[in-house]
Chains A and B, each alone.
Chain A
Amino acid sequence: MDMALTVLTWALLMAGAFFLLTGALGMVRLPDVFTRMHAAGMTDTMGAGLILAGLFVHALSAGDQLVAVPVRLLLILGFLWFTSPIATHATAKAALSGGVRPFTLAAAESGDLPESAGSGEEPGGARQLTPPGDGSGAGQSGEEQGGASS
């Protein structure tokens, strides 16, 4: 019985570590900020979830402080699963309204990689990615206007 729980803890922790590392690899490999969000979502959901589940099983099998530890683990997990999509959505919305064009295969094949134009630094780097046509519209620099209004 105890052996089985130890094996289950190992399996959950290692599966969590696998998703964590895959997600981190995706953060580095994927081509633009929107696709990277999917990789970030992997670490937020399954990576953190499986590791915390492994800790949960371990806490149950260890037996001491049977209430305090599992309740806290469940709280952390619930909080992460509630806030992760909100933070991701906020990032996506901010990136879209900040003028970042999503990477598409069609644009990549025609050699028009958004990334190649983005050598600039933040926060102006995001705005440099806007097409020349509407560079003054959606990509309006928030810093200057915000400073003027305050």
Chain B
Amino acid sequence: MNRAPWLWGILFALWLLLSWHFEPLFIIFGLFTCTVAVWVSVRMGVVDRESLPVHLIGRAVGYVPWLVWEVFRSNVRVARIILSPRMLVDPSIVHFRASQATDLGRFIYANSITLTPGTVTTGVTGDDMEVHAIVQSEIDGSEENDMNRRVAVLEGKDPR
């Protein structure tokens, strides 16, 4: 799949949405700017599966709402820890195994872990995720396994 037209389309849509002017002069400026930007990007060789994962858009529609709900739930959990008078934190570093096939999938998984408060990815080596958790006992792995499976589905791999 050639991704340069995708990049051009996204950039030009962004131009139109942000300017919201439809005079010919502005349209021509936009066409020119987007073309130059795409040309430079292609020349730099930065338009590929990882930098422009348009093949994930369809499945991301299902993943993002679940992620937002998960972020909300863990926010409430961390807020309760911070607001409790004794503040029972029991931080530790735990390890997870990521079952995604591609670096892009592991990147999404690691960022999803970090985005949910209470867990921060501190390192990724191969398929090993090093995660700092604020309360060790609440990280029993079930939620992370769920997220792991969903990210694997997101990148198009059959769930195990």
Contact = CB atoms under 8 A, between A and B. Distances in A.
Interface of A: 18-19, 22-23, 25-26, 29-32, 34-35, 37-39, 41-42, 45-46, 49, 67-68, 71-72, 75, 81-82, 84-86, 88-89, 92-93, 96, 102-105
Nearest to A24: B82
Chain B CB within 10 Å, residue with most, of A18, A26, A82, A105: A26
A45 B122 contact: no
Contacts of B68: 49
Given A41-B115, A46-B75, A25 B83 contact: yes
Interface class of chain A by DSSP:
helix
B82 A29 contact: yes
Contacts, number: 104
B150 to A, nearest CB: 16
B20 A68 contact: yes
B91 A35 contact: yes
Interface in B83-113: 83, 87, 89-93, 110-112
B72 interface: yes
B15 to A, nearest CB: 12
B122 A89 contact: yes
B18 to A, nearest CB: 7
Contacts of B112: 85
A42 B93 contact: no
A31 B87 CA distance: 10
B120 A92 contact: yes
Contact of B82 (A39, A46, A67, A104): A39
B114 interface: yes
Interface of B: 17-18, 20, 68, 71-72, 75, 78-79, 82-83, 87, 89-93, 110-112, 114-123, 132, 134
A22 B82 contact: yes
23 contacts: A18-B79, A22-B79, A26-B82, A29-B82, A31-B89, A34-B120, A35-B89, A38-B117, A39-B78, A39-B82, A39-B117, A45-B75, A49-B71, A67-B17, A75-B18, A82-B111, A85-B112, A86-B111, A92-B121, A96-B123, A102-B132, A103-B91, A105-B90
A25 B82 contact: yes
A39 B83 CA distance: 11
Contacts of B120: 34, 37-38, 41, 88-89, 92
Contacts of B89: 30-31, 35, 103, 105
Contacts of A25: 82-83
A95 to B, nearest CB: 8
Given A68-B18, A85-B114, A105-B89, 5 more contacts: A41-B78, A42-B78, A67-B20, A81-B115, A89-B110
A26 B71 CA distance: 17
